[in-house]
Structure 1
């Protein structure tokens, strides 16, 4: 096991193996088996490119050999920041086979996040596209290399510039190479994060493949399924719920989209006969509005998954009529627990709940502030443990002591209630985190960047209600008296510090001081109420 990664107690690990949750599979073996079973069947579709299971397997083998020649070793960490392109799959399966660990970054991450990941994980390599969506990742890599000189390799899918071309690394496969064990860490994912920069989530081959298998079963995936990936595939939700990896596990076809708008997604649904896709609530609303005016054949679409944030019941009611398919609500977290509404659930459950745990071995507790279980139907803090929920973050001993109970339950940070039928209804968050349309913004991280500005005396970032995204970010800023700060200046400052675009505050409010709680802390509750009231007042002003 990778040092710094807590794992399951032996008695629980033995139980999960005995019960058949963990079957001793690795990702490298999984792809090999699917290639043997499905060979010429298409695994990946990307534009005009169509890659079979056999081709993906062979290319992953050749890239494994290339990574070895480059000097990448088992347990080395490799930052992977690739968009929805076939090279994403070739790279991660090659790293899986080698036993090196992908660290999944998102395309929107910039210097602040990538430098942190490189330094914290002691990454030896960083895999990027040349350009994507008008952004040159090679320029970003140069900045990261200056800030993290221990990074040995920058590998580029496309024109490498001054770095190493991914396309030049494919080599003759090496036979007899010993791969990782099923209980080994397969990769590191990013947490949503509520305290500064994100924590890293270690996922093993055993636990993650179990989640794929169960997800694929619940979503009725098979070799005839076609999954459209419109969200960035490095996100846990489109990666595994059932996502692109669950689709490959089932022998189905992954269709990669470079954009999520109806004008990009709807033609792919029609042309590729897509059967299932996953969106976040703001995107679902756009699709629902667009469906009536677009003339594409969406009849093959069987399931529209909505997750990443709570989906309003009123919007949920529109899905079956507007899209002609079944809505499946998905609520989960990269740390583990995933809940689904079932495809045969009555509409009342599909519309009004966020699903029930996918595994019979998921354990769920709802507790009050003193960790005492609440009465049935009451709202409580959601705690969970199970065969695919981690036992701790990577190299985060102090944080783990707070984020996990002494008996191994993960404190999700969500407030929820449980229906009599065992379905969860998410009622909010108890952590200092903003869920901006599925993108999680850690208030403390943004506050720390704001405080680096010489004109800022203090800063507090809170959520404000938004009809479209659910929540947006509002930064309350106390400037120094001599400062003549503007919101445009602050936003430009944050962009200059390499902060991802979704973390830049949507609104900045300048105040003389912050309201305080009875013990002298900043009352973010009051700040949230203030901005919500101000929004309501502005909305009522006649235009």
Structure 2
């Protein structure tokens, strides 16, 4: 098996063999899958952002050209690059272009400030940063310059400016610290052949937790994430006629691959990107509802607080949301009334889910009885997911009683990135993730996630 990125914990060989034999892992990188989707769905719309529409064929060409531009500027296999962008097509293009050159994108939520970004750069030894030149009054370029001056890793900064906005930083520049600055739209070169890579390698690093603490990074491989997104797309019966609204940050685990953006691409559907959804406090539910009407959105994903805000503005926005067939709601127990009201208000099906960046993903199923949909987070995505509920001593609790949820499976990595001491506490010796979440099973086998252990 091809070694993972240094600092990552591999799956044991017997599990790798089983996941391959079961057909979960298929040996194709995410960026190479995009090539196949471009051939299969070429003229269909892949991305929508305002008045911009990007077909699958054009998306793949832009990824090819940006990848060639990154290579010319010295980015290559194994190097880490922090990506901190709003919900714009450039986020998707950048992430796939970096993967195509073998670099490892480090997903960075837009609300992360200087210390959060500096932490990611330091832990990953990132040589590059991709972010807005400025965003809502915050100077990301100045932030990157300060991080670069602290040394010794960050040496290439790529700045994004919205179309029609003049960058105050102009073209290519450098600074006394030896850091180079490039407008992101200048990273465009004729495509070149790229070397083949193993799908068992790390595709990207995903922060676990929110912007309020020091995040640990989850290494997601091409194999495990492609399987997760594909299986989630199959579970919700996504087709090429579906339109998925990214109502959550594109860089979030739930929005990117549960099934999210990647799952929608896997079936040839369209993804609608809405800016302003990256910060929990600034999300605009009215903009999302208007996008549902304008683009005839069929599927979207929300968190309970966003679902509540949709309910509050729906009577005044008066958008036609009749195209919606399914809304996923990610969270934990305690939002039953919100789930029920949202389904009635939107006139569509709802699906509860429990998702962690570390991989565990449970979902209710279409056709489940109302009691399961309204009161549980469903069942594991994969038939090879192993979930246990244990007491404080690590012993299984009787069926129906509460305890800590443990998980392992084909889309649950075996450790956080470069965190051996943390991993010793967070993973059991036999590879189960200690989720830190209290849960119990209902008599029909569905999972109810009550919340963090410390809240009990």
Q: Scaled by the length of structure 1, what TM-score is found? A: 0.77
Counterpart selection for 1:404 from 411, 423, 427:
427
Instruction: Provide the C-alpha distance between the structure 2 equivalents of 1:101 and 1:409, rounded to a whole number of angstroms.
Output: 25
Q: How does 1:56-75 map to 2 (within 5 A)?
A: 56-75=59-78
SS at match of 2:406: strand
Summarize the Cα distance change of 1:149–1:4 in structure 2 as closer, same or farther, 3 Å threshold: closer
Q: How does 1:18-167 map to 2 (within 5 A)?
A: 18-158=21-161, 159=167, 161=169, 162=173, 163-167=181-185
Show the counterpart of 1:479: none
Asked which structure has the greater RCO (Cα within 8 Å, sep 6+), the reply is: 2
Q: Indicate the RMSD between aligned Cα atoms, in angstroms.
A: 1.7
The question of 1:324 aligning with 2:341 is answered no
Show the counterpart of 1:414: 437
Show the counterpart of 1:361: 384
Displacement after TM superposition at 1:111 (Å): 0.6
The question of 1:212 aligning with 2:215 is answered no
SS at match of 2:343: helix
Instruction: Provide the C-alpha distance between the structure 1 equivalents of 2:76 and 2:235, rounded to a whole number of angstroms.
Output: 36
Displacement after TM superposition at 1:32 (Å): 0.4
Show the counterpart of 1:378: 401
Show the counterpart of 2:192: 174
Instruction: Provide the C-alpha distance between the structure 2 equivalents of 1:13 and 1:331, rounded to a whole number of angstroms.
Output: 25
Instruction: Provide the C-alpha distance between the structure 2 equivalents of 1:273 and 1:193, rounded to a whole number of angstroms.
Output: 31
Instruction: Provide the C-alpha distance between the structure 2 equivalents of 1:237 and 1:37, rounded to a whole number of angstroms.
Output: 26
Summarize the Cα distance change of 1:274–1:168 in structure 2 as closer, same or farther, 3 Å threshold: same
SS at match of 1:293: helix
Counterpart selection for 1:203 from 217, 220, 226:
220
Contact persistence 2:388–2:406 (CA under 8 A): yes
The question of 1:303 aligning with 2:326 is answered yes
Instruction: Provide the C-alpha distance between the structure 2 equivalents of 1:425 and 1:340, rounded to a whole number of angstroms.
Output: 11
Displacement after TM superposition at 1:149 (Å): 4.2
Give deviations 1:67-88, integer Å, cap 9, x for gaps: 1110111000000001100111
Displacement after TM superposition at 1:396 (Å): 1.1
Instruction: Provide the C-alpha distance between the structure 2 equivalents of 1:247 and 1:23, rounded to a whole number of angstroms.
Output: 18
SS at match of 2:256: helix
Instruction: Give the number of the structure whose alpha-carbon radius of gyration is greater.
Output: 1
Runs of 4 or more consecutive aligned structure 1 residues displaced over 6 Å after TM superposition: none
The question of 1:277 aligning with 2:277 is answered no
More deviation in 194-203 or 281-290?
Answer: 194-203
Summarize the Cα distance change of 1:129–1:70 in structure 2 as closer, same or farther, 3 Å threshold: same
Contact persistence 2:362–2:378 (CA under 8 A): yes
Show the counterpart of 1:337: 360
Show the counterpart of 2:314: 291
More deviation in 261-270 or 209-218?
Answer: 261-270
Displacement after TM superposition at 1:359 (Å): 0.8
Contact persistence 1:337–1:388 (CA under 8 A): yes
In the comparison of the two structures, how many residue pairs are matched?
432
Instruction: Provide the C-alpha distance between the structure 1 equivalents of 2:94 and 2:122, rounded to a whole number of angstroms.
Output: 21
Contact persistence 1:34–1:53 (CA under 8 A): yes
More deviation in 72-81 or 260-269?
Answer: 260-269
Summarize the Cα distance change of 1:72–1:224 in structure 2 as closer, same or farther, 3 Å threshold: same
Show the counterpart of 1:387: 410
Show the counterpart of 1:186: 203
Give deviations 1:473-530, integer Å, cap 9, x for gaps: xxxxxxxxxxxxxxxxxxxxxxxxxxxxxxxxxxxxxxxxxxxxxxxxxxxx9xxxxx
Show the counterpart of 1:498: none
Contact persistence 1:280–1:309 (CA under 8 A): no
Summarize the Cα distance change of 1:107–1:4 in structure 2 as closer, same or farther, 3 Å threshold: same
Q: Scaled by the length of structure 2, what TM-score is found? A: 0.92
Instruction: Provide the C-alpha distance between the structure 1 equivalents of 2:217 and 2:168, rounded to a whole number of angstroms.
Output: 28
Contact persistence 2:333–2:375 (CA under 8 A): no
SS at match of 2:317: coil
Displacement after TM superposition at 1:134 (Å): 3.6
Contact persistence 2:331–2:352 (CA under 8 A): no
The question of 1:268 aligning with 2:291 is answered yes
The question of 1:237 aligning with 2:277 is answered no
Give deviations 1:202-252, integer Å, cap 9, x for gaps: 110000000001110111111111011121111101111111111111211
SS at match of 1:318: helix
Displacement after TM superposition at 1:309 (Å): 4.6
SS at match of 2:23: coil
Displacement after TM superposition at 1:289 (Å): 2.2
Instruction: Provide the C-alpha distance between the structure 1 equivalents of 2:301 and 2:398, rounded to a whole number of angstroms.
Output: 34
Displacement after TM superposition at 1:167 (Å): 1.1
Contact persistence 1:226–1:254 (CA under 8 A): yes
